[in-house]
Amino acid sequence: MGTLFKKGSLKAFLGILFFVLIFPQFHLFSQDECKTVSECEALYKQLEEEIKKVEANIAKTKEEKKTRENQIKLLKSKIQQLELQIKQTNLKIQELTLQIEDTENAILETTLRIEDMQKKLSQILRTIYEEDQKSLIEILLTEKTLSGFFDNLAALEVLNKRQKEILAEIKDLKASLEKEKEDLESQKSDLEKLVSIRTLQKQESESAKKEQE
């Protein structure tokens, strides 16, 4: 009878192992991984509901008579709670990582815009300088009237001023994005520390459970 049970257990184990090897991402993707911020938020909410159920079980067990069996049950629930909290925190870390990547892309795009704007400003300043260096004869040869020349020069000055204003706005945007990135990285670092703390708490609860069993 014992031999048959062992054979059956072995078959079941091999079946589970085969499934895990063929579909290793199945469980992980369903609860532990997300590819977009909205997906992370949805999974986070799912885990929040699961945590609430476990917390309700913990509260119920605490009200029951303090027996060895209930103490083990309570420790199991606490371990489950910590596991879910660790998963939830890891999801938040993934969400922040995605947000950091998006912010980095925005910073890169803004940097390219700044470089492009600086090139345009250099060209405008060069043109203004060249216009200023023209002699009266050159002006009369290239422009029908003196007023036409000064109108063009004034237009260049206005354009230069506007380009400088836009450049300042873009630089402010870049500074804001860099600050946002720093804040996100700081939040991520805090959450990683929290995962470490909860992992230690989980290990302590598992040790306490083994002592009770």
State residue 28's pLDDT score.
35
- Output the CATH code of domain 36-212: 1.10.287
Report the Cα–Cα distance between both ends of the chain, in Å, rounded.
27
CB 120 within 8 A of CB 163: yes
Which residues, given as ranges, of the chain have pLDDT below 70? 1-31, 134-146, 148-149, 213
For residue 28, the 8-state DSSP code is: I
Whole-angstrom Cα Rg for the chain: 33
CA atoms of 86 and 195, how far apart (whole Å): 6
The reported pTM is 0.66
Structure tokens at 141: 């040869």
How does DSSP classify residue 145? S
> For residues 46 and 23, what is the distance between their CA atoms, to the nearest angstrom?
22
The pLDDT assigned to 89 comes to 93
